[in-house]
A and B are shown apart, each in its own frame.
Chain A
Amino acid sequence: MLEQLTHHLPALQTVIPLIAAPLCMLFGSRHIAWTITLIASLATFVISCVLLAQVIDGSVISYHLGGWEPPLGIEYRIDAFNAFVLLIVSGIGALIPFYAPASIKSEIPKSLHSYFYTAYLLCLTGLLGVTVTGDAFNVFVFLEVSSLSTYALVAMGAKKDPRALTSAFNYLVMGTIGATFFVLGLGLLYILTGTLNMVDLADKILLLEDNRTLNVAFAFILVGLGLKIAMFPMHLWLPNAYAYAPSAVTAFLAATATKVAIYTLLRFLFTVFSFDYPFEVQTLEWVVLPLAIMAMFAASIVAIFQTNLKRLLAYSSIAQVGYMLLGVTFLSKTGVTATIIHLFNHAVTKGGLFMAVGALVLRYGSPNIEDLRGAGRQMPWTMAAFVAGGLSLIGVPLTAGFISKWYLISAAFEANHWVPAILIVASSLLAVIYVWRVVEAAYLQEPANPTRQIKEAPPMMLISTWVLIGASFYFGIDASFTTHAASAGADMLLGSVDNSAHIILEPSHSLIPHVTPHGQE
């Protein structure tokens, strides 16, 4: 029985939260819904650990849904790269059930709690599905599953701030435009090649010479995903959505949603298209590179002037997306490795930061920096977590942020791009300013209301915050796991290792997988 289960792990990864989601709603009780969410998210976390252990050595799992062989059937394809992203998403997803109950109690009416868990599990399903699938159209479907549930989750912040409704609506409009552009690009690819399987697409695209339809398809996919990852200047939906969503939702989205969209972009840039495709190289050099640098500066500068702490961190996220895109534009393995490392490190750091802010908002009732004066003395553990996360955001040595920036800068030097290298350091200084503003208010200023008794955050919130902040330090001191996983992922993306599937799981034909040794395919 157990052996049969392990053969279906790739599918169970998405099926478990998908089935758990409606159960939460059917039972209706928020305690049962919470229990179901906890079990489902822990299960996906365990599965992703097992999957990563199987593929970290460079092998590839190909799971044929319903036993239909690709390229006709839908394939779930797991390699070192997406197993790593799965680990990030499900890891943070497993922390949210611990963090959420105390946080949403004050932010969402009790009657909606079971709906919150339903939407949360659907969002998790979508994000894991996008990551696990090897079929381009399936990516679109899962992307929309996660996006639609995200819009609902953002709108749930309406009790605390009614602007959550309008920001969810704007997010819906922009997200749908992005998804439609993306699916239009896929349609053009399908018309050109007659296939939607990513690996098959890659083979067929190689055969097409300079082709205008292909360029148009590439541009639509880039812009569509650009909207989803909040690539500057397509980031307008993000600050409001993050600022007015419930804190638990913001922490989850900031850590996972944009990361998964960046994963999808990398998948398309490297697995479907490749550096052999000249239009992609030109676009990266002449469009994405300047936009990434502008994001690093424009968003950081805007962040400095924010009064709302959640918005401040949201703008900082847009700047961080700039770093991730910058890594790709160096057109080298080091650059892609830097992007993947930063994807992980930033997920951990920003997740932790938003969790700390959620705890502050819970106790002070306001995310405005002005109202949080004196928080350093009243909530020492939460503020300490924030400062630690802030250090990682800046990229101080011994934090995860330093490792990302180190790799980014070495990739820049390797590509002889010394100007971006200097700009990376310069924009990190901007991060010093906006983090300092918060630190100054929290530690050096008198409390806004000294007579008001403020308690430390609830223990479960504090623990989950510190798990992520602790991780951002752990991976800053001992980066061997992240760099190993990221470089294995980069090898896989750039095709420098054999990426044909070694483990093929065909469920309906036989429950025993055909395992072939490396390279015998």
Chain B
Amino acid sequence: MEDLTFDFIIARYNYWLVITLMMTGFYVVVSRGNLIKKIVGLNLFQTSVFMLYISAGKIIGGTAPIFTDNPDEVYSNPLPHVLILTAIVVGVATTALGLALIIRIKETFGSIEEDELLKIEHDYDTTGKMPTAEGRP
């Protein structure tokens, strides 16, 4: 195992950024009760993985991966970029679906706070009734 020297840490700065971003996103998802904030946290979390892929595909001094006449041209690895394009599409779809669900939840329950939703669901369980528009928190 290599020693955790200053150079070792600096040379891998992209990984540290990814880890920080990922843990921030994960923390937001777990700790926030507001559903929209959860979705934002989820986005951060996914973006960190995108950055991991993209930074791994970068070659120092490399240009965009486009064929030129120069056979010695150094270019970045295009495959991770393509993969992440797909993953971004998946991420956008997830966010869209999550937000659509939040709208429906707001319409039905009148709240998007997790603790209030739990209380409304508990009342629904015992009384079988949803709160009316006036009774909503």
Give chain A's interface residues, CB within 8 Å of chain B.
137, 140-141, 144, 148, 151-152, 155, 158, 162-163, 165-166, 168-169, 172-173, 176-177, 179-180, 183-184, 187, 190-191, 196
A165 CA to B49 CA, complexed, in Å:
28
A183 CA to B102 CA, complexed, in Å: 25
Given A169-B98, A176-B42, A187-B52: A144 in contact with B29 (beta carbons within 8 A): no
Contacts A/B (CB < 8 Å), 15 sampled: A137-B83, A140-B87, A141-B90, A148-B90, A151-B101, A155-B101, A162-B109, A162-B130, A165-B104, A165-B108, A166-B121, A168-B101, A172-B101, A176-B42, A187-B56
Tell me if B97 is interfacial: C-beta within 8 Å of chain A. yes
Q: Which of A152, A163, A172, A180 gathers the greatest number of chain B CB atoms within 10 Å?
A: A180
Please, what's the 1-or-0 string for B96-128, where 1 marks a CB less than 8 Å from any CB in chain A? 011001101100110000000100010010000
Judge whether B86 is part of the interface by a CB distance below 8 angstroms.
yes
| Bound Cα distance A179, B38 (Å) | 16
Task: Determine if B130 and A173 form an interchain contact, defined as CB atoms under 8 angstroms apart.
Answer: no
CB neighbours of A163 from chain B (8 A): 121, 124
Min C-beta distance of A180 to chain B, whole Å: 5
Q: Return chain A residues, CB-CB under 8 Å to B97.
A: 148, 151-152, 172
- Which residues of B sit under 8 angstroms from A173, Cβ to Cβ? 29, 38, 42, 98
B residues 41-55 touching A (CB-CB < 8 Å): 42, 45-46, 49, 52-53
B33 at the interface (CB under 8 A from A): no
* B108:A177 contact, CB within 8 angstroms: no
Residue numbers in B under 8 Å from A187 (CB-CB): 49, 52-53, 56, 80
A165 partner residues in chain B, CB cutoff 8 A: 101, 104-105, 108-109
User: Complex: how many Å from CA A144 to CA B88?
Assistant: 12
CB distance from A305 to the nearest CB of B (A): 15
Residue of A nearest to B94 (CB): A176
- Whether A158 contacts B104 in the complex (CB less than 8 A), given A141-B86, A169-B98, comes out as yes
The reply to whether A148 and B94 form a contact with Cβ atoms under 8 Å apart is: yes
Closest A residue to B125 using CB positions? A163
A169 touching B124 by the CB < 8 A rule? no
Q: Which residues of B contact A152 (CB under 8 A)?
A: 97
Q: Within 8 Å CB of B98, what residues of A?
A: 169, 172-173
In the bound assembly, the distance between CA atoms of A191 and B130 in angstroms comes to 51
